[in-house]
Structure 1
Amino acid sequence: MRRGDPLHNINVAKKKCTMKDFHSALRARDILGLGFDRSSDPLLHLVAIQIRRLLEFDPLKRLTPVDALNHPYFKPGSFEMTQWQTTAWQDHFNARIDIVADDPLLTALEHQTLDPRLDMSPEETVREFICPKCNRKFKDLGSCLQHARSRRHANFCSYDRSLLPQCLNAHMMLPAHANSGYCDIQGRRRTIEDFHTIHLDASHQFYAVFDGHLGNLASKYAAATFHELVEHRLEIIDESLPPDWEAKVKEAMADSFKDLHNGISRAVESSPGGVMKESGTTATVLYVTNLALVLANVGDSRAIMTAWTGDVLGAAQLSVDHIASAPNEQALVESKGGSISKSGGIERVQGKLAVTRSLGDVKLAPFLSQDPHVFVATKADFFALCGTYKRSCFIILASDGLWDVMSNQEAIDLAWQVVETEKGSVASFQEAAEVLTQEAYIRGSSDNIGVCVVSIEQD
């Protein structure tokens, strides 16, 4: 596994291991949604189908050990099955067990350009919310929050998080890098279009959140390729800051976004059956070196940071929301010959897209911009903006599934509460990302939700 893989060089222990977990693990490594060919990979076929059949509770459906050992994976010299072997073995297998052709548990192996059929929604619903100070119980979150805040007991309520969707992907590079965390969930959407990249290098760290729309090809492509585009151009600040580095970095980021847009456009053109021809994505990326930080975004996936004034914790927004309701963004669209009109009560470009800057969106691209907002700062300037050298300074990058239901200040407050509670834990920032994701879900977010929390450390 490459260094950027969330599970690189880590022994992971899970309290449970279900087919949903297997499905999610395969999807996490299938960034472009190409699928895995179990017909030519006996090991995948063995794990995905045969072992599960060995564990069937009903003995009439359970595969016998003899049949299991007849699998081509266990036959010397036949690690790669020929088409004849695949067909012959599958015929034998089907004669014993009726395999449902569209078994949702097998879709992790299939082409994922269209979303899998697996239902990732929780089986239970949270029905009890508790005030952390007085332990009073409520049947709904709104009543609990009103009670806790009006009495100044707490800003957030407690509930059983085990009943909520668990992370499809999680990042926790332990012990190499415990200062960041990532969590995303499909939420209430039928498809997953949020994807991310975390790449940790000796000289820099790269974090990115991509929120796709009208299909997930663009966001998957961006998650798989953008790091290399940026790394190549920003290596100029890995070891030193040359003269006029801010201007050079901003130009390099703009070029990287344009290259990514062009790459997505080419991928869309070659997508199977053209099913993703209108796919697009927002992008919010963070590049950190020992000397500087670079934050760039197009669209409405937001990035914020801690901002202390004495002992008062505030939130500072580093990104810009490129949305059709913003007057300057409307003017940008109109200057390109486009128009803004309402659809579903929301201002949209050509009545379709709520963001004015995006990557991909081939049909709407003439009216959109791919120019990113870029924030650059030395490490010293960043810590001055954070306002303290005595408390943790961190950045939250998230798709709008979080920001639709939480303010900047609420997100910073909740993350800080988790980090303080988990102080000393190597997983505190991973925990913060998970709590933010699930809080957005319990508040009713109807979108995919992806959250990355990154602590910026002093060197």
Structure 2
Amino acid sequence: MGAFLDKPKTEKHNAHGAGNGVRYGLSSMQGWRVEMEDAHTAVVGIPRGLDDWSFFAVYDGHAGSRVANYCSSHLLEHITDNEDFRATETPGSALEPTIENVKSGIRTGFLKIDEYMRNFADLRNGMDRSGSTAVAVLLSPGHVYFINCGDSRAVLYRSGQVCFSTQDHKPSNPREKERIQNAGGSVMIQRVNGSLAVSRALGDYDYKCVDGKGPTEQLVSPEPEVYEIVRADEDEFIILACDGIWDVMSNEELCEFVKYRLELADDLEKVCNSVVDTCLHKGSRDNMSIVLVCFQNAPKVSEEAIKKDAVLDKHLESRVEEIMTNAGEEGMPDLAHVMRILAAESIPHLPPGGGLAAKRSVIEEVYNRLNPHRESDGGSGDLEDPW
């Protein structure tokens, strides 16, 4: 199907902002995929009286970007404008919704936007078969509402550890598999009818046309799971990311890597960019998107961490010089060979969660300086194992 490019597209889309006691940064990159199908939302201050609320989301599109892009612009309004979310309001007032109103309103908003998009001509006539996962957080002054539909994921880092993670909706999960089979489908090679790798998503109307079944009983369900958590002073940050990130990093690895980066720089866009680049070097072949939301208790820049990292960089630079200087009769080694040698060594203080992949840019810079006549080795990564 020609799903991958000859070399990855590494240009990034970035944004950042602050308000309501949080800062956020985001990064997205097309990578090896022939199209960019991810989208995102970042809103600090929600219209219609919820100025001290915020909303962040990542959408991982598949079979096209139509659904992901529409949701990035309109999912929030479908949530906050529906009658379930606004049930406590009386004419002329804008009361803060109750926890149950919020949870009910989120669910209703997902079902409403899914039904609304079904009427788009290109989606109705099958010209566009796209769908999208959605993972989001809605922050009120007192609560964090985690919202998940599909296999993108959000995690909360609190008191130095992963405190909460959404659960991926995969077809092989017993509860998901039961719904799929009840709708007349099957799970083969861990996919819905052997084709779709997620069991909940917005769009994907080819999987939502079983007669006699409601919208949440179809082969693919648009129903989100919603969890509310009381905010705490110990909250440090929330990460939302698509599976292009989670494919190569666990919850703990990614959180430890973000913590390490936050101790080196407080530029959240740069932190997110380093995540995306590291995941590319660790072998991710998917589009990649990450939104990082930092609370006031997030890790701060540390002079000690900066010094330690500089020592590591110096060590790697000298090792690359040694490897290339000692190449001898075999000639100048390629970058992959240099990376393999370093990977076999016991190098102290490599970035947690990122390892040697997180330092590829440092290694590459020295390599390129010492070997200016090199042939291109595929740019920022290889389709095989990076080294």
Which TM-score applies when normalising by structure 1? 0.55
Whether 2:242 is the aligned partner of 1:399: answer yes
Amino acid corresponding to residue 340 of structure 1 in structure 2: V
CA–CA separation in structure 1 for the residues paired with 2:247 and 2:79: 29
* Cα gap change, 1:173 to 1:339, in 2 (>3 Å): same
Residues 294-341 of structure 1, C-alpha deviation per residue, up to 9 Å, x if partnerless? 111100000011133xxxx32234312000121221112112222111
Residues 186-233 of structure 1, C-alpha deviation per residue, up to 9 Å, x if partnerless? 010001110011112132211110001111111111112112112325
Give 1:287's aligned residue. Answer: 138
Amino acid corresponding to residue 42 of structure 2 in structure 1: I
Q: Choose 1 or 2 for highest CA Rg.
A: 1
* More RCO (CA 8 Å, sep 6+): 2
Instruction: Note if contact 1:239-1:291 (Cα within 8 Å) is conserved in structure 2.
Output: no
* Partner SS state of residue 228, structure 2: strand
Instruction: Note if contact 1:172-1:178 (Cα within 8 Å) is conserved in structure 2.
Output: no
Residues 322-375 of structure 1, C-alpha deviation per residue, up to 9 Å, x if partnerless? 001212211121122221112xxxx10111111111111111123121211101
Identity between Structure 1 and Structure 2 (%): 28
Amino acid corresponding to residue 61 of structure 2 in structure 1: G
CA RMSD across the alignment? 2.8
Amino acid corresponding to residue 221 of structure 2 in structure 1: S
Instruction: Note if contact 1:304-1:397 (Cα within 8 Å) is conserved in structure 2.
Output: yes
Residues 49-106 of structure 1, C-alpha deviation per residue, up to 9 Å, x if partnerless? xxxxxxxxxxxxxxxxxxxxxxxxxxxxxxxxxxxxxxxxxxxxxxxxxxxxxxxxxx
Instruction: Note if contact 1:281-1:358 (Cα within 8 Å) is conserved in structure 2.
Output: yes
CA–CA separation in structure 2 for the residues paired with 1:455 and 1:231: 23
Amino acid corresponding to residue 188 of structure 1 in structure 2: W
Give 2:69's aligned residue. Answer: 220
Residues 123-146 of structure 1, C-alpha deviation per residue, up to 9 Å, x if partnerless? xxxxxxxxxxxxxxxxxxxxxxxx
Residues matched between the structures, number: 274
* Cα gap change, 1:421 to 1:355, in 2 (>3 Å): same
Superposition deviation, residue 172 in structure 1: 1.4
- Give the stretch that moved more between structures: 331-340 or 254-263: 331-340
Give 2:33's aligned residue. Answer: 189
Any unmatched runs of 5+ in structure 2? Answer: 46-50, 209-217, 298-387
Residues 385-425 of structure 1, C-alpha deviation per residue, up to 9 Å, x if partnerless? xxx3xxx6110000000000111011000111111222xx4
Superposition deviation, residue 430 in structure 1: 2.2
Runs of 4 or more off by more than 6 Å in structure 1? 174-178, 235-240
CA–CA separation in structure 2 for the residues paired with 1:197 and 1:177: 18
Superposition deviation, residue 239 in structure 1: 8.0
Residue of 236, 243, 246 corresponding to 2:99:
246
* Cα gap change, 1:321 to 1:450, in 2 (>3 Å): same
Whether 2:188 is the aligned partner of 1:357: answer no
Instruction: Note if contact 1:415-1:432 (Cα within 8 Å) is conserved in structure 2.
Output: yes
Superposition deviation, residue 260 in structure 1: 1.5
Residue of 325, 330, 335 corresponding to 2:172:
325
Whether 2:59 is the aligned partner of 1:210: answer yes
* Cα gap change, 1:314 to 1:324, in 2 (>3 Å): same
